[in-house]
Chains A and B, each alone.
Chain A
Amino acid sequence: MQLKLSFPKDAEHQDTVSCVSWNNTEEVFSCGDDHVLKKWNLLTTDSQKICEFPEELNPLDFHCFSRNIGIRKTGQDQMLIASSDGKFHLLGKSGRIEKTVEAHKGAVLVGQWAPDGASFLTAGEDGQVKIWSRSGMLRTVPVHASGVPIYCACWGPDSNNFLYTQGKHLVIKSLLPNVKPNRWRAHEGLILKVAWEQINGRIVSGGEDGRYKVWDSYGSLVFNSMLHEHPITSIAWSPNGEMFAVGSFNTLRLCDKSGWSQYLDKPDTGSLYSIAWSADGTQLAAACANRKVLLAHVIGRRVEWGPLEATTTRRKTVVMSNAVHSGSDTLEFPERVIHLALAYKHLVVVTTTQCYVHNINNINTPVIIDLREGSVYMVLLAEKHMILVERSSIGVYSYDGRLISSPKWPSLNTATLNPSQISLGPDCIAARDQADEKVIQIFDINGKEIGTPLSHTTQIGEIGLSNGGSAFERLLAFVDRTRDLYIATVHPRPSTSRKIDKLGSVVQSFKWNSHLNIIAAIQDTSLTLWYYPFIIFVDKKLLRRTAVIKESSEFGHRPQVTTYVGNHVGIRRSDGALINSGVSPYLAILHGYSMSGSWKDALRLCRMVKDEALWACLAVMATQGKEIDTAESAYAAINQFDKVLYLQHIREIKLKPVQMAEMSLLGGNVQEAEALLLQNGMIFRAIMTNISTHNWERALEIATRNRTHIDTVLLYRQRFMDRLGKQEANEKFNMLRSNVEINEEQIDVKVQYELEKEKDRS
């Protein structure tokens, strides 16, 4: 990432510029000590004086709120100006002061609209914070005078809490009653600026001690910067929360969300009093002490996929290069590039009004999609489809530019959708619900819901869909608030709920492989690879044997998995360095063999590699594929004798359907086994399967539906209850008990008869 700076040439303010704010993505407002409000147009590069304030109005903070953050569209906007005479002013579009309210004793230092635009807060030198309604009526005074001036305050992700500075301390205060404020000492010097990001909830503060620090929303330190020669005078998060800008005397710095510096520029501007990002996150404006307004746009954004790499070298230029072949392609676009995504052999470039889909085999002839709303928040790519998240909807497109569907759910709010909380798989989409943080909505590509939404017991953080295998092998992984990693099946089998199980704990971040159902996660400071996570639904004991843990000192503190493409895991260290970690290539080959059913090759491979994890994977894959011989060899190789014996028992069964059903049972799919048996008319065995798995109700259901062996089920249930020494509590059983006569001898004879019959069939 880099910033390309520019200064509007001919015009400038007559005095120090103190505040800037964006009107829309092409227009910037600025005002300063010369009492003039100016508008700068970035497309035509001209400036315009909007109005002149009265002599006594010295603006200190300025915030534009736009309901309609679109391109070249302006909604009902209101501008809020806090001034040094203790008043705030509400301005209309034309710059006319619509309302002036005496708000604080001393100067009003802060004026900020809430994210929902329904209210705003002001804070001043008297140490008070006041909340006002949209029309400027006082609502509450959540912070009473403490005598310490409040230099900066900002709203939290939901409009229910806010953060303010108090000398060297930061305080998070909730508007809800009976919530204790969270106050901590943050800096060695006076804190001048603080910014709270809306998507991940991270906080950046900067002060007179010349440092900026990144905090999480609970106030624990994530990053502490090196010492600057001058105080930090301004801080601003980019709207997508991926980076933030820090301003100081003659200094403009661009930092990653985890704090490390991506780019530094030393423009000759004096102190930067205020920084503001445009809504699309590609441009920023800053107010300079030397009467200038600094404009900058982000270039050098880079995306990688295997050997391919695409970089924005200029505002409208993307350079695509391949590390394998030398040489590169330069792509020019008519408009500013806003998003860039590269995956699965497609490069997707979103400009202000269009979306270009380039196939990398034919890079120069893109498919062009006209954007429906002209502002894209997010681009997600999968093997055959992509998602464009726009202002009010989510669009699923095929790579030839056809709109397939636009999934919707009631709480959908695309503006605050977190990129780590929506995932696109080859055939489905998952997104965490924004109203209920414990729920994940799951849709297929055509926008139809798959089953009921998944609901969990605690709040869910990141989610991810697997990319490998067929639709029925699709898995959904998610990390909850306690940092436990869970996986769930996406397609529920008929009449059963989704399977969910915990894969690991203390998971900082995870990524699915780009093509296979392999998951890589950072647990504490080591990298864990689960070679075959589905195993958790089959045999939990084998889970550890199919997981490989890589400990490495080079990962450093708080590493993060960023990519997992092919056989390479990309890890981002907390200092920003990218580390490539190779994964055994045999694993991909094994997955390939199992998908194509080449069991002999798979066996040969495992014999050659002699790796226990691979054998364990093969054992479960073969069980799922109902390959008795392969499974037997594989289980033998990992010393699972009980499994080998059971497999030998299965081999002796002559009836093919029973054999299949037993394999399903070994693979943990009771429902599948039952369905197989019922299809083949083996009702008795289906009932017995359910009985032996203690699935009493289901056994009874099958029996009553087929009007046979009801008494058998009841008898076995009764014996079971007697063994446990408990009373029957199930209504259904009690009711049938009174209706059906149970004759033990007769039943035993019947069971014997069924067993004989089965033997005859074989």
Chain B
Amino acid sequence: MTDPLTRLNLFFDDLNHIRIIQPELASQTSDLREECIDFTNSIESFKNIADGFINIVASLAQEVDKEKMKAIGARNLVKSMAKQREAQEQRLQALLLEKTTELERLRIQHQSLAKTESEQLEMMDRLLTLQ
């Protein structure tokens, strides 16, 4: 059937409004539009979620890095502490050795003085018995 209106590309919809597009097409188009909007919305929200995730991961990475550095620092500190202790020990050992030699010197001096004392006491004894 050749409707002159159809030839002119004019249609009537169910509500008898004149339309320039076929009513089914029109409704399909609007459906498509709705769906497109829905789709962009969901993409948007996905992007937000993804961003959020990325941020969280990045901050986590930073945190991890920081902790890692801390751990390395602490480990080094422990290591150097051991070295420091060693150096300190060496230092104290050297000072100790110095004091020991000093003590030895004083011991020898004391010994010689004690010897002199005993000699003097002996002499006093002898003088007393002479009297």
Which A positions have Cβ atoms within 8 angstroms of B?
229, 250-251, 260-261, 263-264, 266, 554, 568, 573, 575-582, 585, 608
Contact = CB atoms under 8 A, between A and B. Distances in A.
Contact of B95 (A264, A577, A580): A264
The 9 A-B pairs with the shortest beta carbon distances in the complex, nearest first, are A577-B105, A577-B108, A264-B98, A582-B116, A579-B112, A266-B91, A580-B112, A578-B109, A580-B113
Interface string B87-117: 1001100110010010011101101110110
Contacts of B109: 577-580
Contact of B105 (A251, A578, A580): A578
A266 B101 CA distance: 17
Contacts of A608: 130
B90 A581 contact: no
B90 to A, nearest CB: 7
Given A229-B90, A266-B91, A577-B105, 13 more contacts: A250-B91, A260-B101, A261-B98, A261-B101, A578-B108, A578-B109, A579-B109, A580-B112, A580-B116, A581-B112, A581-B116, A582-B115, A585-B123
Contacts of B112: 554, 578-581
23 contacts: A229-B90, A263-B98, A264-B94, A264-B98, A266-B95, A554-B111, A554-B112, A568-B116, A573-B108, A578-B105, A578-B108, A578-B112, A579-B112, A580-B109, A580-B112, A580-B116, A581-B112, A581-B116, A582-B115, A582-B116, A582-B119, A582-B120, A585-B123
Contacts, number: 48
Interface in B34-91: 87, 90-91
A579 B114 CA distance: 11
A260 B101 CA distance: 10
A576 B105 contact: yes
A1 to B, nearest CB: 11
A582 B121 CA distance: 12
Contacts of A585: 123
Contacts of B94: 251, 264, 266
A566 to B, nearest CB: 11
Contacts of B106: 577
A554 B108 contact: yes
A579 B91 contact: no
B118 to A, nearest CB: 10
Interface of B: 87, 90-91, 94-95, 98, 101, 104-106, 108-109, 111-113, 115-116, 119-120, 123, 130
A609 to B, nearest CB: 10
B112 to A, nearest CB: 4
Contacts of B119: 582
Nearest to B130: A608
Nearest to B114: A580
Contacts of A250: 87, 91
Nearest to B98: A264
Given A251-B94, A261-B98, A582-B116, A575 B130 contact: no
Contacts of A578: 105, 108-109, 112
A237 to B, nearest CB: 21
A560 to B, nearest CB: 14
A266 B130 CA distance: 58
B26 to A, nearest CB: 85
Contact residues of B: prevailing secondary structure: helix
Contacts of A264: 94-95, 98
Contacts of A582: 115-116, 119-120
Contacts of A577: 104-106, 108-109
A576 B104 CA distance: 10
Contacts of B98: 261, 263-264
A80 to B, nearest CB: 35
A564 to B, nearest CB: 14
Contacts of A263: 98
A663 to B, nearest CB: 33
Contacts of A229: 90
A554 B115 CA distance: 12
A579 B105 CA distance: 9
Contacts of A579: 108-109, 112
Nearest to B90: A229
A263 B120 CA distance: 34
Nearest to A568: B116
Contacts of B120: 582
Contacts of B113: 580
A264 B100 CA distance: 12
A581 B116 CA distance: 7
Nearest to A585: B123
A578 B105 CA distance: 7
A573 B104 CA distance: 12
A575 B102 CA distance: 10
A585 B108 CA distance: 23
Contacts of B91: 250, 266
A575 B100 CA distance: 13
A577 B98 CA distance: 13
A13 B98 CA distance: 32
Nearest to B111: A554
Nearest to A584: B123
A137 B102 CA distance: 50
A60 B113 CA distance: 50
Contacts of B108: 554, 573, 577-579
A573 B91 CA distance: 27
A266 B93 CA distance: 11
B81 to A, nearest CB: 16
Nearest to B118: A582
Contacts of A580: 109, 112-113, 116
A608 B98 CA distance: 48
A324 to B, nearest CB: 14
A585 B115 CA distance: 15
Contacts of B101: 260-261, 575-576
Contacts of B105: 575-578
A554 B112 CA distance: 9
A577 B95 CA distance: 18
A577 B108 CA distance: 7
Nearest to B113: A580
B91 to A, nearest CB: 4
A528 B87 CA distance: 48
A577 B103 CA distance: 10
A264 B109 CA distance: 21
B49 to A, nearest CB: 56
Contacts of A261: 98, 101
B54 to A, nearest CB: 47
Nearest to B116: A582
A147 B104 CA distance: 46
Nearest to A267: B91
Contacts of B123: 585
Contacts of A266: 91, 94-95
Nearest to B87: A250
A608 B123 CA distance: 13
Contacts of A573: 108
A250 B94 CA distance: 11
Contacts of A260: 101
A625 to B, nearest CB: 26
B39 to A, nearest CB: 67
A264 B112 CA distance: 26
A608 B130 CA distance: 9
